[in-house]
């Protein structure tokens, strides 16, 4: 009986995965527990409109479950592609929405740089992780 051994995830990918899990889960919990504090502290948020605790908590739930999807993909390799792809699709759509806001003149181009670590970077990390997972699934 032959057994296929897949290589372990490289350390750099573990670090990227850890960033997404930590950022998404911690940010989500922060939004759920202290929505007004989150609204006041995160750069650029107050410029997007009035505070709405329900909306902030809705997005906090999404953020938390996106992080949970990345964790679950580690534990359930058979579901990894679906979990990570779904989470990354939302993250990428969110990042593209920020680009659209700049293109439409709603935000200054500097908003893209300001928002990059929290908006675009998690999406790009998701794309990298999906690429690795896809290569692993084809072996």
So what's the pLDDT on residue 111? 96
Contacts 24+ apart (CB under 8 A), 38-44: 42/118, 43/114, 44/111, 44/114, 44/115
Which pLDDT band, with edges at 50, 70 and 90, does 138 fall under?
Answer: confident
Chain centre distance of CA 12:
17
For the chain, the structural domain boundaries read 13-137
**Per-residue pLDDT tens over the stretch 70-87:** 999 999 999 999 999 999
The structure's pTM equals 0.92
């Amino acid at each position: 009986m032959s057994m296929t051994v897949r290589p372990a995830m490289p350390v750099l990918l573990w670090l990227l995965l850890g960033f997404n899990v930590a950022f998404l889960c911690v940010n989500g919990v922060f939004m759920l527990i202290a929505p007004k504090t989150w609204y006041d502290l995160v750069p650029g948020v107050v410029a997007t409109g009035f505070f709405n605790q329900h909306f902030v908590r809705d997005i906090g739930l999404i953020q938390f479950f996106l992080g949970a999807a990345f964790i679950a993909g580690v534990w359930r390799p058979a579901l990894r592609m679906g979990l990570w792809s779904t989470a990354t699709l939302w993250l990428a759509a969110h990042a593209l929405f920020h680009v659209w806001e700049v293109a439409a003149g709603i935000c200054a181009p500097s908003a893209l740089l300001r928002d990059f670590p929290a908006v675009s970077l998690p999406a790009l990390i998701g794309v990298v992780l999906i690429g690795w997972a896809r290569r692993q699934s084809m072996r």
